[in-house]
Amino acid sequence: MDLFYKSTRDSKVRVTASQAILKGLSEEGGLFVPETIPSLDVSLRKLAGMTYQETAYAVMRRFLTDFTKAELQECIAKAYDSKFDLPQIAPLVKAEGAYYLELFHGATIAFKDMALSILPHLMTASAKKNQVKEEIVILTATSGDTGKAALAGFADVPGTRIIVFYPKDGVSSIQEKQMVTQKGDNTFVVGIRGNFDDAQSGVKAIFGDAAFKEELAGKGFRFSSANSINIGRLVPQIVYYVYAYARLLGDGEIAENEPINVVVPTGNFGNILAAYYAKQMGLPIRKLICASNDNKVLYDFFRTGCYDRNREFLLTTSPSMDILISSNLERLIYQTADQDDETDRRLMKELAKNGRYEITPAMEARLGDFYGGYADQKEAAAAIRELYEAVGYVIDTHTAVASCVYGKYKKETGDTTKTVIASTASPFKFTGSVMDAMGEALEGMDDFQLADRLSRLSGMQVPKAVEELRGARVLHDTVVNVDEMKQTVRAFLGTGN
């Protein structure tokens, strides 16, 4: 049966999966959601014997129904190949009573690789399927990891260009260097004077500018997105939760149909939304534990039913979570509003106008799958140190937020359900903060000296993605104000004024 997608802000919009991937965002600013969440049609026991690639096909075929088997399998084969440093793609590591799902074994050592390795292939297949003649311009805002993963995925892909905006002083030095050294004639990286929310709002404004889109269409360009608002990003993320459960079952860690909990360090809400969709598909997940850092806008939402971004924006040691507008939450809001587009439009309008909205008690009652928690920077640092001292396992600053929140959850609830923690980045991506948390002296050491030191302490090899940055030349040095973003796009595309 074909599965179609509709917009959270206009339920009359109805498109195929490939059309949703190409558009990224609906015309009126809504996010595409499946009309229904399909069920897994493969038994958990059978999934336990599958490779990552086979699992990906079993899950994604249920959502991307207008792709042929050959098209989808080709996309999967091109995405999940030797660019990942382990054949398992996403291994599980048991440490101190939890299972860490390592999502950082791809080309950019962060979980964004899991979806952004396949998005360019889904995008080009979608363009061909829909007879798209224009050049696709990927326009993306990043809080650190999406940018590099998208750049790596789309670099030199025929028929595409990619423009990434990032907060100039809001990412780690490794994250920035990964982006500004990116090769590829079709890539463009721009720092903005502002924070991630400024960058994200600027990109959304460009997507919503009908006149600008018409102007560029006349010159042979069409916009799409590589952010997690694109369902071509979201659907591949569902896969690794299914794969994690199957691995636990196959390894004898859980019994068939035994429920697990999932903990996700969360900023833009896409990663934990994918886990929610996995649960809706029938995966036995008991509780979705949403872990926030000091900015804790999602923690407050799950505790009060009020989403309020009117607060100080804090730059933390977990920069990919330094977000006050969690775009993917809109998909959950739409779901809890019984897929009522009028309610969603009203709440999103309130957020845009007043920076806040409040859901009804009935909507709040439908959030029972979720638990909101947060950890501040000191608590996250302590989680890194304690885990390292206990078992020698090193986690990054974002995973540390999740690990700490899980500890608080267990203490508060007494829940002993076996739990998977999404480990979203390699500790080598945030060496300064990780080493500081471990109590190591940092003075006078650059990122690469820190990486070498961390390698000696942990016994882990310095990832190839970090080694390749040694001596890499800066190729992108543009920095602009937020109100200059549109003109910057014009300049890169060579379309003039």
Return the pLDDT at 200.
87
Total count of residues recorded for the chain: 497
Least confident of 12-16, 55-59, 438-442, 490-494: 438-442
pLDDT band with cut points at 50, 70 and 90 for residue 229 = confident
What average pLDDT does the segment 210-221 reach?
92
pLDDT, tens digit, for every residue of 133-170?
899 999 999 887 788 888 998 999 889 999 999 999 88
pLDDT band with cut points at 50, 70 and 90 for residue 497 = low
pLDDT, tens digit, for every residue of 90-104?
999 999 999 999 999
Cβ neighbours of residue 227 under 8 Å, at least 6 residues apart?
24, 140, 141, 142, 146, 200, 203, 233, 268, 327
Return the pLDDT at 208.
86
pLDDT, tens digit, for every residue of 70-90?
999 999 999 999 999 999 999
Alpha helices in 355-493 (DSSP H): 361-365, 377-391, 397-413, 431-437, 447-458, 464-467, 485-493
The Cα–Cα gap between 291 and 403 comes to 9
pLDDT, tens digit, for every residue of 413-468?
999 999 999 999 999 999 999 999 999 877 788 888 999 999 999 999 999 989 99
pLDDT at 335 over 80: yes
Enter the tokens of residue 139: 């326009």
pLDDT, tens digit, for every residue of 340-380?
999 999 999 999 999 999 999 999 999 999 999 999 999 99
Return the pLDDT at 19.
97
pLDDT, tens digit, for every residue of 295-329?
999 999 999 999 999 999 999 999 889 999 999 99
pLDDT, tens digit, for every residue of 4-35?
999 999 999 999 999 999 998 898 999 999 99
pLDDT band with cut points at 50, 70 and 90 for residue 191 = very high
pLDDT, tens digit, for every residue of 274-285?
999 999 999 999
**429 alpha-carbon distance from chain centroid:** 16
Phi, psi of 404 (to 5 degrees): -65, -45
pLDDT at 172 over 80: yes
Return the pLDDT at 175.
87
Return the pLDDT at 404.
98
The Cα–Cα gap between 348 and 292 comes to 21
CB atoms inside a 10 Å sphere around CB 209: 14
Mean pLDDT, rounded, of the chain = 94
Return the pLDDT at 446.
86
Using a 10 angstrom Cβ sphere, with 0-12 exposed, 13-18 middle and 19 or more buried, the burial of residue 475 is middle
Q: What percent of the chain has pLDDT over 90?
A: 85
What average pLDDT does the segment 121-143 reach?
92
Please report the DSSP string for 86-140 in residue order: STTSS-EEEETTEEEEE---STTSBTHHHHHTTHHHHHHHHHHHTT--SEEEEEE
The Cα–Cα gap between 400 and 128 comes to 42
The Cα–Cα gap between 351 and 329 comes to 12
Could you give the strand order of the β-sheet that contains 135-141, starting from the edge strand earlier in sequence? 221-224, 135-141, 160-167, 187-192, 478-480
Return the pLDDT at 496.
62
